[in-house]
Amino acid sequence: MVRFENVGLRYGMGNEILKDISFEIEPHSFQFLTGPSGAGKTTLMRLILLSLKPTRGLISLFNRDAAELSKDQITDLRRRVGVVFQDFRLLDHLTTYENVALPLRVQGRDESAYRAEVVELLRWVGLGDHMHVLPPVLSGGEKQRAAIARALIVRPELLLADEPTGNVDPTLARRLLRLFAELHKSGTAVVIATHDLALMDQFETARRLVLGDGRLHIYE
Amino acid sequence: MIYAQSDERRDFGRFADDASAGMRKDVPLVPAASIAGRALVTVVAIMTFLAALTAGAAMLIAHSADDWRGQVAREMTIQVRPETGRDLDADVTAAVAAARAAPGIADVYAYSKAQSEALLTPWLGTGLDLSELPVPRLIVVKLDPKTSLDVAALRKAVLDKVPNATIDDHRLWLERLAVMAGTVVVIAFVVFALVMLAMVLAVGFATRGAMAGNREIIDVLHLVGAADGYISRQFQRHFFRLGLRGGLIGGGAAILVFLLSSSISALMRATAGGEQIEAMFGSFSLSANGYGVIALIAAAVAVTTGLVSRIIVFRHLRGLT
């Protein structure tokens, strides 16, 4: 599904912040991406999402060599990936409903075809009462759930979540994690970037990708 | 779906029964407030106003030039000069007969001696005895617009019988009018093109500003799977609306100016000065086609504004790596 071979990344003429990164993400797999703050977790997520180009090495997404993809092909592949950003990145002028429906809207789908699905998902993540609320009045946890719902609405084959529990209390964090587990059971490959050890301990069977000093260590 | 059957559904339990949930109609993905809309509408309105004024003025002048040309081209003048040893009245009669015999002539009218002398009154004043002056006699030849006239044959026929006659077919005036009308149209076109170019540049700056102000939104749209064409269409839609608003204001103002000038010109027609101005420059009233052209300019401005923003955004997004 995702394959990195000797990938390196540097910004400008600076030192490499990611060195010789090689790993694969299999379909239906579940893994944590962890490491200290500033280790490059978000950067690695952006490389997977093809929003950054590596300085060297090979990246393939859904068995397609990223270097040979056109912008339109990258867009097509991104539609198969759900992303939860660390800072939510909800659009403040759109309601919760509109934010969650955004990935479907940009695909040009008719709203009547997905309205019920979006409402159902919003209720499922506990935002049924906040559908017409703008993000600035949502709490951190509610924004987090809205961001997660937006990532899930396209039923992604791969879910990338960057610190998805960073802004919620432990109880809600556990619930969110169970939500990701449910998604994994339904066949979605999940990558969760976190430095929350307690969270990872809840899923001891999950693979751990540990970033440190720009290198990746894998613990199966 | 997975979440419909999951136990998590119970955990997140606060379910509202909101049957009215949905997207607001036409809610823009690029927030209107993030674009300097009012300033751009003002600029577009001013540019449309100038472009419409230029086009309208050019149409007025071209129309007047056509009128002059039509009036002058439908007439010729034969001038019979008095000459010693020749009977002027007989020469006039002979010239009139020669002109009438030529094909393509609708009417021939010879000014009498008294009428010819009366033509000199504005310059020489009244109360003078002009009988001793060798006043030439004028013959106005009206041409038949349905039949072509052989000017050379007419000239030969008249000069054979009246060698002291001259024929003026107003060719010089016609050439000057053609050059003037052509020059006015070219100048108007250049001014129009410059105004449109300035507007395109203004829209370009506004679009780049809007893109810079909405970089985060563009980034999110990309990451949730929006294609470059989709994002650029969002900008196009917004800028088209701004352009349409500016175009309607500017075009409407220009139409108002022409309606006002037409009314003022009609009011002044009764005065002597008004008549002269109308004779020289026409009635200052635009035809229905002229107002149609202004409406077209306003529409073209709106379409251009939208297209320019779309192209700029699309090219910028394509250039991103």
What tens digit of pLDDT does each residue of B164-181 get?
898 888 777 777 877 888
Q: What is the mean pLDDT of residues A70-84?
A: 92
pLDDT band at residue A130 using 50, 70 and 90 as cut-offs? very high
- Among A92-101, B112-121, B122-131, B260-269, whose mean pLDDT is lowest? B122-131
Q: Does B6 touch chain A (CB under 8 A)?
A: yes
Q: B21 — contact with chain A (CB < 8 Å)?
A: yes
- Interface confidence (ipTM) of the complex: 0.86
Q: Which residue has the higher pLDDT, B93 or B1?
A: B93
State the pLDDT at residue B18: 46
Does the distance separating the beta carbons of B23 and A98 come in below 8 Å? Answer: yes
- How much of chain B exceeds pLDDT 90, in percent? 31
Q: Stretch A165-171: mean pLDDT, rounded?
A: 77
Question: Chains A, B: CB contacts under 8 A, how many?
Answer: 121
Q: Is there a contact between B222 and A78 if contact means CB atoms under 8 Å apart?
A: yes
Amino acid (one-letter) located at A1: M
> What residues of B are in contact with residue A95 (Cβ under 8 Å)?
24
Number of neighbouring beta carbons within 10 Å of residue B7: 8
Of the residues B223, B228, B315, the best mutation for testing chain A's interface (the one with the most A CB atoms within 10 Å of its CB) is: B223
d(CA B25, CA A105): 13
Residues of B in contact with A185 (CB under 8 A): 2
A178-192, B13-27, B268-282 — most confident range = A178-192
- Which residue from B3, B16, B24 is facing A124, i.e. has the nearest CB? B3
pLDDT of B84 > 90? The answer is no
CB contact under 8 A, B1 and A175: no
Mean pLDDT across A62-91: 91
Query: Cβ of A129 under 8 Å from any chain B Cβ?
Result: yes
Question: Which residues fall within 8 angstroms of residue B212, CB to CB, at 6 or more apart?
Answer: none
List Cα–Cα distances, B212 to A207, B139, B190, B232, B321, in angstroms: 40, 75, 33, 14, 16
Q: How far is B267 from chain A (nearest CA, A)?
A: 55
pLDDT mean over B264-293: 74
pTM beyond cutoff 0.90: no
For residue B320, the model assigns a pLDDT of 74
Query: Hey, are the CB atoms on A131 and B24 less than 8 Å from each other?
Result: no
pLDDT at B143: 84
For the stretch A2-6, contacts whose Cβ atoms lie closer than 8 Å and that sit 24 or more positions apart, written own/partner, are A2/A48, A2/A59, A2/A60, A2/A61, A2/A62, A2/A158, A2/A189, A3/A58, A3/A59, A3/A60, A4/A47, A4/A57, A4/A58, A4/A59, A5/A57, A5/A58, A5/A59, A6/A56, A6/A57, A6/A58
Residue of A nearest to B17 (CA): A128
Min distance B233 CA to chain A CA atoms (Å) = 11
Percent of all residues in chain B with a pLDDT value above 70, rounded to a whole number: 86
- Of A111-120, B156-165, B170-179, B210-219, which gets the smallest average pLDDT? B170-179
Distance between CA A151 and CA A29 in Å, rounded? 17
pLDDT(B3) > 80:
no
Model confidence at B1: pLDDT above 60: no
Residue B40 and residue B244 in contact, taking contact as beta carbons nearer than 8 Å: no
pLDDT higher for B156 or B265?
A: B156
Give the pLDDT band of residue B10 (cuts 50, 70, 90).
very low
